[in-house]
């Protein structure tokens, strides 16, 4: 069991900034959240907390939102168990259901079964939905696939279920690597899972790259993605807010990518590029 800090973030205005704040806090070690009427509660292992890193996040330096916070140390409890209690299924277009083993099965839907653990952030629900929604219209048959920032590897698993060939899943977080291995086995698919970042990519080429991360990492890593993307290959991005799209597309166009489709859910966007 880990010692955790509980942060109370007061946000003005709450929308759309609570979801944006959660997405960015995940990048500095926060791993679960509870939404409140005037903000959110966020939880992080005490040993991982870096106040300077948190304060340097984009959302804390944006004049359009005001964020105040306080925190306290939490008692030693089983946080995986608490995390599971707050994990709800994701239904995409009444076609795909992402659920845990303790949720009721829905045989009429295509199901992806995951054990959420600490590698799944509730702030990622809209972006996960967007990625799956776009993937439903893509051809994965025998394609080589890379899932960057894989988390639970739900996207890599879905790609394999759609007929993908060799599929690589990479995440910087040790929790995610362990969780991805368990989830791949749970869904009966074979993934090549590794801990690392885009810097660890070698010369192997891919037909499809999936990256549900965040604006800053995507802008930094798009040149690397392009370098390992086959000619005619596809890059599917999410983790973006609507106001990030222009900056992302500028980088994409600079590196020879063409926008094929974009979709929005709440304040979040996904972009399919070729």
Tokens of 161: 């279920």
DSSP 8-state class, residue 19 = H
Q: Is 128 one of the annotated binding-site residues?
A: yes
CA distance linking residue 116 with residue 86, whole number of Å: 10
Q: Is 171 one of the annotated binding-site residues?
A: yes
CA distance linking residue 167 with residue 175, whole number of Å: 19
Tokens of 144: 């080589």
Tokens of 202: 């070698």
Q: Are 9 and 39 in contact (CB under 8 A)?
A: yes
User: At 177, is the secondary structure helix, strand, or coil?
Assistant: helix
Distance of CA 140 to the CA centre of its chain: 20
From residue 267, give the alpha-carbon distance in Å to each of 14, 16, 17, 172, 264. 13, 7, 9, 26, 7
CA distance linking residue 226 with residue 206, whole number of Å: 10
36 membership: H or E segment, kind and range: strand 32-36
CA distance linking residue 140 with residue 72, whole number of Å: 47
Residues comprising the binding site? 128, 149, 171, 212
Residues comprising the binding site for S-adenosyl-L-methionine? 128, 149, 171, 212
């Amino acid at each position: 069991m880990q010692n955790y800090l509980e942060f109370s973030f007061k946000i003005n205005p709450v929308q759309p900034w609570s979801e944006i704040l959660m997405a960015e806090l995940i990048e500095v070690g926060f791993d679960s959240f509870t939404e409140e009427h005037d903000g959110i509660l966020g939880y992080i292992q005490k040993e991982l907390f870096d106040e300077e890193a948190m304060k340097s996040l984009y959302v804390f330096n944006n004049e359009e939102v005001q964020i105040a916070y306080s925190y306290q140390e939490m008692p030693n409890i089983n946080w995986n168990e608490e995390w599971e209690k707050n994990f709800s299924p994701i239904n995409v277009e009444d076609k795909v259901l992402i659920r845990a083993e303790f949720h009721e099965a829905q045989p009429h839907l295509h199901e992806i079964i995951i054990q959420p653990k600490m590698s799944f952030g509730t702030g990622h629900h809209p972006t996960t939905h967007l990625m799956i929604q776009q993937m439903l219209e893509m051809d994965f048959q025998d394609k080589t696939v890379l899932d960057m920032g894989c988390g639970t590897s739900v996207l890599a698993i879905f790609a394999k279920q759609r007929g993908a060939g060799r599929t690589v899943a990479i995440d910087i977080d040790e929790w995610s690597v362990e969780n991805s291995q368990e989830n791949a086995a749970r869904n009966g698919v074979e993934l090549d899972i590794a801990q690392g970042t885009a810097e660890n990519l070698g010369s192997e080429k891919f037909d499809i790259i999936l990256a549900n991360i965040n604006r800053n990492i995507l802008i930094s890593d798009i040149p690397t993605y392009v370098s390992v993307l086959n000619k005619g290959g596809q890059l599917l991005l999410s983790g973006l807010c609507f106001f990030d799209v222009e900056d992302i597309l500028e980088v994409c166009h600079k590196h020879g990518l063409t926008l094929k489709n974009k979709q929005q859910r709440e304040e979040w966007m996904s972009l399919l590029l070729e």
